[in-house]
Amino acid sequence: MSVCTSSKLFVIAVVGVLIIMFAFYFGNLCNWTSALDYKKQRHSSGSLSYKSSLPTQHRLPGPCTCPDGSRILKDHFPQDQYEELMQRRAKEFQQYKARTNSIQSKLLFALPNSPLQYPIQGVIVRPLTATAIPGLRLYAEEGNSYKVGLISQIRNRQISPRSAVLLTVSNGVLTTETPTAEATVQGSGEAKLTIESSTLLVLNDLLAKVSYTSTIYHINTGDLVTFQFENYEAVFPITIQQPHVPVLYDMGTDISSQVTIVTKTFLRYKQLRVLLDSIRKFYSNIKVIIADDSLEPESITGENIQHYIMPPAQGWFAGRNLAVSQVTTKYFLWVDDDFLFSEKTKIEKLVEVMEAVPELDMVGGSVQGNKFHFSILYEEGDENEGGCLYRKSGGKFHSLPSYPQCHLASGVVNFFLARTDAMQRVRFDPKLQRVAHSEFFMDGLGSLMVASCGDVTIDHQPKTDGNRNPTYNKFRSPGRNDAEFKLQLHFFKNYLKCIRYG
């Protein structure tokens, strides 16, 4: 290689190194400038402020978008009733939010490079009971004096820019151990608590013994606690919660002690008796509960059969509520009164899935091989118009671990195994008398974990001239007024702007 060529290569290499160094320096300079701009937000005293400019709370959601083909629910009301209805709906919605919203839903941000250690979740205290706050600790260089403050957030609190240490609570009080001569504690057992020490070890020992006691009784609420040192500030939640007493079901040793079969009947005694015969063919001892709102009730008797007579034509959901209210087993199996048990109707398989995945509340099977599962897509929308809901037929989510034949969904067919206490919490709305199934899963969205399993099947009795009932058909098929009522119910009860069935 010639000397000229070597010189050129050397110059190119040097220039390349200089470019890289300049880029690295310029990039770091930008980063340093950004960091300094952040740190040089000053209080009036001139001290550095580390307070974040990030929002501390979710913005209110905007209007949701109705899917194509949606029913706009406000159009199903007379105009002269609309304004008064909107006022009642808005008031009820505010009360609903007061019952369900929590201070713990507030959006919080952790600032970088903080010397504060604190719990970010999992601090649960019983109402009116002193409970230690775990994990409080300060990491700082040794100095002459340390002051730390814990502040439970209060509305419109005024904190002096010069205040280095402060403790304040809105829903409780803070206490710690009596300090030694090396520390000072002010406000223990009050709404303000200050800890100061010349020794970091002593200060951290007192922090480790800080307790929180709520001063209001509430079974499920919370508080936000602010932990301060100099100009560093951290906020973390405390849950105030009354513990639940466990309610357990003795599963016993066989399917009859685990599951009750439940059905609702109306003017279809011939089909009901065929169903009962098919049940006894495969499950001779299992209890069957029947809710009956027929116009002229007939007697249904037999061992392990409970037949409840209702006032006439109360409707499907009213009957479901009655029947489920009498279940004493951990699970119940819902069947329609014109279904038919077969060799493939294996209740034990559904119980196995529920026991293996205890988070589940319901597992649906298939009717003659058809699963009829669906998904519900819901946007909350804004406070004025309400949400948008789309029920998508055939929609499902991922399969269950170890059960590839089962998929999570929002709703399933009228053949399902359900956890009794979970169903009782959601309830079947008795206002819905005819053709009401999806509505239960709308009410249970966010409360019920639902799966659909295709390998457990029940048959459907064939429709023949001998089992047709004109009176039943008149009640079974909803008229225009029933359809309108259902849309109006969704508008108010579910706070929906629109709904689409697909």
The domain spans of the chain are: 106-241, 255-501
Cβ contact 50:42 at 8 Å: no
Q: How much helix, strand and coil, in percent to the nearest 5, is found in the chain?
A: 30, 25, 45
Distance of CA 335 to the CA centre of its chain: 28
Dihedral through CA 334, CA 339, CA 345, CA 351, nearest 10?
0
Bridge partners, residue 326, by sequence: none
Helix, strand or coil for residue 331? strand
Give, in order, the Cα–Cα distances in Å from 47 to each of 41, 42, 143, 232: 9, 6, 18, 12
334's tokens: 């819902």
H-helix segments, 362-455: 420-426, 438-443
What residues does 175 pair with on adjacent strands? 211
Structure tokens at 325: 């209210």
Q: pTM above 0.85?
A: no
pLDDT at residue number 341: 98
| Integer angstrom CA distances of residue 136 from 3, 197, 374, 465 | 68, 15, 47, 76
CB 183 within 8 A of CB 206: yes
Distance CA 275, CA 298 (A): 16
Q: Locate 493 and state its tokens.
A: 């009860």
Q: Are 193 and 175 in contact (CB under 8 A)?
A: yes
Residues 375, 377: Cα–Cα separation, whole Å: 7
Those residues whose C-beta lies under 8 Å from the C-beta of residue 362, and which sit 6 or more positions away, are: 412, 416, 417, 418, 419, 422, 423, 448, 449, 450, 451
| CATH code of domain 255-501 | 3.90.550.10
Q: What H or E segment, with its residue span, contains residue 24?
A: helix 3-39
> How far apart are the C-alpha atoms of 120 and 187, rounded to whole Å?
25
Digit-by-digit pLDDT tens for the chain (502 residues) are 444 444 554 445 544 544 444 444 434 333 333 333 333 333 333 333 344 444 444 445 689 999 999 999 999 999 888 899 999 999 999 988 888 777 777 777 777 788 888 899 899 999 999 999 999 988 877 655 667 776 654 333 333 332 234 667 789 999 999 888 888 999 999 878 888 888 888 888 999 999 999 998 999 999 988 888 888 888 889 999 999 999 899 998 899 999 999 999 999 999 999 999 999 999 999 999 999 999 999 999 999 999 999 999 999 899 999 999 999 999 999 999 999 999 999 999 999 999 999 999 999 999 999 989 999 999 999 989 999 999 999 999 999 999 999 999 999 999 999 999 999 999 999 998 877 889 999 999 999 999 999 999 999 999 877 677 777 776 776 667 888 999 999 999 999 999 999 9
- Burial readout 361-382 (b: 16 or more C-beta within 10 A, e: otherwise): bbbbbbbeeebbbbbbebbebe
Helix residue ranges per DSSP H, 222-358:
269-282, 316-325, 347-356
Pick the CATH number of 106-241 from 1.10.20, 3.30.70, 2.60.40, 3.20.20: 2.60.40
Q: Can you list the alpha helix ranges (DSSP code H) found in 57-199?
A: 79-100
User: In whole angstroms, what is the distance from residue 323 CA to residue 428 CA?
Assistant: 11
> In this structure, what are the phi and psi dihedrals at residue 229, rounded to the nearest 5 degrees?
-140, 120
Measured CA to CA in angstroms, residue 400 lies from 288, 396, 407, 420, 451 at distances of 29, 11, 6, 21, 8
Using left for φ > 0, alpha for ψ between -120 and 50, and beta otherwise, residue 402 falls in left
**Residue with structure tokens 């392990």?**
304
Task: Report the distance separating Cα 396 and Cα 406, nearest Å.
Answer: 10
